[in-house]
Every structure is written in C-alpha cells, then in structure tokens.
C-alpha cells in the first residue's frame, strides 16, 4: 500500500529532514494510540479532547511537510500518510463517544395493580370472631329485653353458628342464631345477616319456646333445633342430631354462665 511504501522508503542524505519528520509523526501517532489503549473501549471526555488536539497537531504537521516536500522535490504532491493518519484518529475519536443512556423503564411497583376480574363487594364484611366478645352489647340488650340469660343466648349462638354472622346451613338457616327464612319473616327480620336483628329475633323465639314449655330448657332447646311441632307430637323420638345438640348447648352454657 501507499502508506507502507512511504513509511518504508529509505531516507537519502538530501531527504533526511523528511525522515526526521516521519519519525516525529510516528512517535506522535504511537503516543496517541497508547492513550487510546489505556482509555479502553469507551474513552472519557478528556481522552476525546486529547485525540482532537493530537489530530490537529498531526494535520498542521502534515501541512508543513507538504510545503517542505514541495520545496525540496520540485512540487511533489503532499504525502498521503498525513491524511490517512488524520482520518484514523478522527475515526477513533468518533467511536470513543459514550452512548446515550437508555431511558429508564417505569417502576412496575408504582403502577397500581388492576382489580381482579369479577370481584364483587362483600355484603356482610363482619369477620368471624369465635370468642363472641364482640357480641356482648347486643346479647346484653337482648337478655334485658326478653328476660333470657346471657349465657344461654351465647351458648345457642356458639352451637348454631360459632359466632359467624354470615353462616348458612344446608337447609337454609341463616345468621348467628340460624333463623329459617319463614321464622325470620314472622319475627320482623329484614336481614338475617345483621347481628342486631338476628340476635334480637332469635332471643325472642327462644323466650317464646321457654314460655311454651313452662321454662323447661331441654324442651325449649329441642324445639329450637327440631321444631316445636315435632317436640309436641313425638317428644320420645328425638333424633340423634337433636340429642347431640342439647349436650353441646349445655356444655357451652356452663362456659358462658
């Protein structure tokens, strides 16, 4: 190639100044390339400034060389090597520019999550509380109004629904004291899942049963579970479920009394 030819051309005595200038250019080029290698693949701003300055010096030197060669050799065209080196340095400077930073994607954690499809509002948000303490005020009012012991009311609620105001049995009984829809309507209940309405109506129903059986708690509880008509017609045929219900309510009554 022309560059190799110019570099490797032996210096004659009358062209020694040209050889000195070629050696100078080679030394400067070596320094610039050393700087590039030390800076790595992505030179910083200071390195780019150094490259630009070196390129300018090389360009001026090439211009001086061109004039000198023209004077010494009778109008010889400017050497190609200076232009080639200048283009090479410019290429290094352009490739060393730092890439623009990519835009930061929005943080997914800041984006509100969409509501689940088909999610419906809960009609009765009162959560189950198995201790029954949250019902103390309602039970106390029902006890004072209808004259039924607090412990007995809470024992029936525990056995019927385990203090879950949203409980529904397999036969359709609803709420804390498991009122059948027909019974609830007869007692003036508009919402069986409302704790206040349910406990008041259930306590009234229990009071009526105690009065019906002359204060006999076993018969009143059996009628509450099995139905007063069944107890009236066949009290000697209590089903196993009703007998177990009586035992369970009495155990809870001893706890709450």
Q: 251 in helix, strand or coil? A: helix
Pairwise CA distance, residues 13 & 109, whole Å: 77
Pairwise CA distance, residues 249 & 255, whole Å: 10
Catalytic residue among 128, 160, 196, 251: 160
Q: 193 in helix, strand or coil? A: coil
Pairwise CA distance, residues 211 & 208, whole Å: 5
Pairwise CA distance, residues 96 & 41, whole Å: 7
Q: How many CA atoms lie within 13 A of 89 on its CB side?
A: 28
**In this structure, are residues 14 and 72 in contact, taking their beta carbons and an 8 Å threshold?**
yes
Q: How many CA atoms lie within 13 A of 10 on its CB side?
A: 2
Question: Is residue 94 flagged as an active site residue?
Answer: no
Q: 179 in helix, strand or coil? A: strand
Pairwise CA distance, residues 231 & 218, whole Å: 11
Contact partners, residue 31, CB within 8 Å, separation at least 6: 54
| DSSP code per residue over 176-242 | TTTB-HHHHHHTT-S-TTSHHHHHHHHHHHHHHHHHHTTT-HHHHHHHHHH-HHHHHH-GGG--HHH
Pairwise CA distance, residues 212 & 228, whole Å: 9
Catalytic residues: 160
């Amino acid at each position: 190639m022309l560059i190799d030819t110019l570099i490797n051309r032996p210096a004659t005595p009358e062209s020694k100044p040209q050889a000195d200038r070629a050696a100078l250019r080679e030394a400067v080029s070596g320094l610039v390339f050393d700087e590039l290698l030390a800076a790595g693949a992505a030179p910083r701003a200071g390195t780019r400034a150094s490259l630009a300055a070196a390129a300018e010096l090389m360009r001026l030197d090439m211009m001086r060389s061109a004039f000198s060669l023209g004077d010494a050799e009778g109008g010889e065209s400017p050497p190609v090597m200076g232009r080639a080196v200048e283009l090479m340095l410019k290429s290094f400077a352009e490739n060393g520019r730092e890439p623009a930073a990519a835009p930061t994607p929005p943080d997914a954690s800041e984006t509100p999550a969409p509501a689940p499809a088909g999610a419906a509002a809960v009609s009765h948000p009162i959560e189950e509380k198995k201790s029954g303490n949250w019902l103390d005020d309602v039970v106390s009012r029902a006890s004072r109004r209808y004259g039924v012991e607090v412990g007995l009311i809470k024992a029936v609620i525990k056995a019927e629904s385990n203090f879950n105001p949203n409980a529904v049995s397999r036969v359709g009984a609803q709420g804390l004291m498991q009122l059948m829809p027909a019974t609830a309507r007869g007692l003036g209940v508009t919402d069986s899942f409302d704790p206040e309405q349910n406990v008041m109506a259930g306590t009234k129903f229990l009071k009526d049963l105690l009065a019906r059986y002359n204060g006999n708690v076993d018969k009143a509880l059996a009628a509450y579970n099995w139905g007063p008509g069944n107890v009236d017609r066949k009290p000697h045929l209590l089903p196993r479920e009703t007998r177990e219900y009586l035992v369970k309510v009495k155990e809870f009554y001893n706890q709450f009394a």
